[in-house]
Amino acid sequence: MVDQNLILVGYAVPMVFGLVLMTKAGDGLADTLAQQNPRYAHARRRHMLGMNLVAFMGFVVSVHTLWISNKISEGANVCSTATVFSCDDVLGNSQYNVDPFFGISWGLIGMFAFGAILFITNSVGKEPDALWAESYMKYGMYMTGAGMLVIALLVSYEVRMEKICQFCTMAHIANVVCLFGFWKAGKMHEEGNWDDKEQTTASNQDSEKSSNDAPEKAPKRQPKQSNRKGGKGNDKNDKFW
């Protein structure tokens, strides 16, 4: 079986990259990303790309957590250790591995939660200027904010068991990062940074440059008017051929 720690690192790398895209550090990657796709030169599109990555990894980690729970129920050992980091001891505890109200596995709940978050981030990423986009981002912030209460409950379970589930912690971090992403998106709306101003400014500069580089039109020459009043022979210098 593949080392679970290596799988955990494979989940962490895209999540960290997504977080970087949502911060000022992502501005340094703008030129590199713009070479692959010019749209990612704008902060809003980089932000939504980062949120999609984090939400997707949260969904994948939740699926993995549910898989571990099912394997443990079959009697298998997936990531059991004698140290404090032992997901088998946490997910295999029948007293704490399901929610206290409906008895649903926490991994399945995480799948539904991150699936809804991924729907929001992907929809807003496709239609960022839609009338419903800002409302969707608020719903996502409320959802991830409520998720903090669930995280507090699960952490209290781990404190009682004196064990930590690495994959559960990764899902918790994904929720926190998504909460930050929704909050920052709201700030971008308030500060007027949600629109692709860079694209508009660049197009205006190009149009101004093209107009400045265009050759000036020569002034239209007016036909000379004759001083003669008309009629033949009014000017002594007139010649008849």
Is 239 in a helix, a strand, or coil?
coil
Confidence grade of residue 224 (pLDDT, cut at 50, 70, 90) = low
**Per-residue pLDDT tens digits for 154-163:** 999 999 999 9
> Is residue 223 scored above 80 in pLDDT?
no
The angle formed by the CA atoms of residues 100, 101 and 102, to the nearest 5 degrees, is 110
Helix H or strand E segment including 109: helix 106-126
**pLDDT on residue 229:** 46
Lowest mean pLDDT among 24-28, 162-166, 231-235: 231-235
Q: Enter the tokens of residue 145.
A: 């904010």
Q: Enter the tokens of residue 222.
A: 């007016």
**pLDDT on residue 59:** 97
In contact, 130 and 48? CB cutoff 8 Å? no
Domain ranges for the chain: 55-193
Quick one: DSSP state of residue 164?
B
How far apart are the C-alpha atoms of 193 and 188, rounded to whole Å? Answer: 5
Confidence grade of residue 3 (pLDDT, cut at 50, 70, 90) = confident
Q: Domain 55-193 carries which CATH code?
A: 1.20.1440
> Is residue 134 scored above 80 in pLDDT?
yes
**Is the pTM above the cut of 0.85?**
no
HEC string of 20-64 equals HHCCHHHHHHHHHHHHHCHHHHCHHHHHHHHHHHHHHHHHHHHHH
**pLDDT on residue 232:** 46
**pLDDT on residue 148:** 96
> Is residue 222 scored above 60 in pLDDT?
no
Q: 175 vs 28, 44, 62, 123, 182, CA distance in Å? A: 25, 20, 11, 18, 11
The residues near 145 (Cβ < 8 Å, ≥ 6 apart) are: 179
**Per-residue pLDDT tens digits for 144-199:** 999 999 999 999 999 999 999 999 999 999 999 999 999 999 888 888 778 765 44
